[in-house]
Amino acid sequence: MHSAQQLLRKFTSLKTLPHVAIRLSTLLSEEKTHIQEFEEVIKLDPVLVTRILRVANSAFFGLREKVSSISRALVFLGTKNLRNMVATEAIKDILNCKSDGDAFSRKNLWLHCAAVSILAQMISERVFGRRGEDVYLCGILHDIGLIIEDQTVPELFAVTCKALACKSFSVASKPLTEIEKEVIGTDHCAVGYLLSEDWKLHEDVKKGIRDHHLISEELQPNSMTGLIQLAEFFACKLNYPALPAMKGSLSPSLVRYVEENSEEFRVLLREIPAQMAKAKELYDDHGTRVNE
């Protein structure tokens, strides 16, 4: 049996995260970092340079002149958007490899994380009128613990996935987090929370990662945890589950909120296919496509 701390130490020792992502995460947690410091690190990763320049020159910013320097692009993007790009790129790199079997697909996990991050940001901004950068970050990282389990204890993680999918398995009727604790010794929420502490993320983001499977009558729909739980529920409904057998669960307070605002959510969900197409185009091109 393994603890969350043991898995995180092993994950770190494997040097799974790209060097540039680790260095940028450190810089982003420091308040007095200059743009020149970001630029020096970003220049080491041609893919990240390409993405930053593409986004800065996209229709979203509507700039009259083309941005050709990293430093100028960072002025328009801001550190929060840079941080989200780095986190997204790091996860995509880790999941950019083939996986065997029907119980777990790294590509599907990537699509799930992308769907949850997009949905969470849309719900935050469109339904509650709140800025969505931190919510996006929490969404893209909410299942990082599953990635760590797959990287550090692949055999036990495979057993966990099969247990979730197999109706005849003794723990099959239990939630994923309970199966993880019985098979591995910890769960992906606890592991992800520890990583978020290492990365010095905002307290709300850390709590959202830790508690996104928590079923509570007190959970507020506009809280970070509530937003991620809503996003994961709808992602599963739209056929973007993290694991094939997973179904999104909602706290009673969120069920009531969705029922009371069903038309608003129905309108929002119509935009998801187009948003997912944009996400795939943005994150999977230029030779960095997630393999089947």
Q: How confident is the model at residue 76 (pLDDT cuts 50, 70, 90)?
A: confident
CATH assignment at residue 121: 1.10.3210.10
Report the C-alpha gap between 187 and 177 in whole angstroms.
5
Q: Are 90 and 18 contacting, i.e. CB atoms less than 8 angstroms apart?
A: yes
- The residue count of the chain comes to 292
What value does the mean pLDDT take over residues 45-51? 77
Looking at the domain assignment, is residue 83 inside a domain?
no
What percent of the chain stands above pLDDT 70?
A: 86
Task: Give the pair of three-digit tokens for residue 233.
Answer: 């529920």
What percent of the chain stands above pLDDT 90?
A: 41
Other CB atoms within a 10 A radius of the CB of residue 281 amount to: 9
Of 173 and 184, more confident: 184
Looking at the domain assignment, is residue 253 inside a domain?
yes
Taking CB atoms within 8 Å and a gap of at least 24, the contacts of 205-214 are 205/134, 205/137, 205/138, 205/141, 208/135, 208/138, 208/142, 209/138, 209/141, 209/142, 209/144, 209/145, 212/142, 213/175, 213/176, 213/177, 213/189, 213/249, 214/251
From residue 97, give the alpha-carbon distance in Å to each of 51, 94, 108, 131. Answer: 20, 7, 12, 33
Looking at the domain assignment, is residue 43 inside a domain?
no
Q: Quick check: 291 pLDDT over 60?
A: no
pLDDT at position 286 is: 41
Looking at the domain assignment, is residue 242 inside a domain?
yes
Task: Give the pair of three-digit tokens for residue 78.
Answer: 């801001």
Report the C-alpha gap between 191 and 149 in whole angstroms.
8
Looking at the domain assignment, is residue 244 inside a domain?
yes
Looking at the domain assignment, is residue 44 inside a domain?
no
Maximum CA extent, the chain: 62
Give CA 69 to chain center in angstroms.
28
Q: How confident is the model at residue 185 (pLDDT cuts 50, 70, 90)?
A: very high
Looking at the domain assignment, is residue 31 inside a domain?
no
Report the C-alpha gap between 272 and 92 in whole angstroms.
20
Looking at the domain assignment, is residue 245 inside a domain?
yes
Best CA proximity match to 240, nearest among 100, 87, 141, 105: 105
**Overall pTM surpassing 0.85 (yes/no):** no
> How many structural domains are present in the chain?
1
Domain carrying residue 214: 4-15+99-284
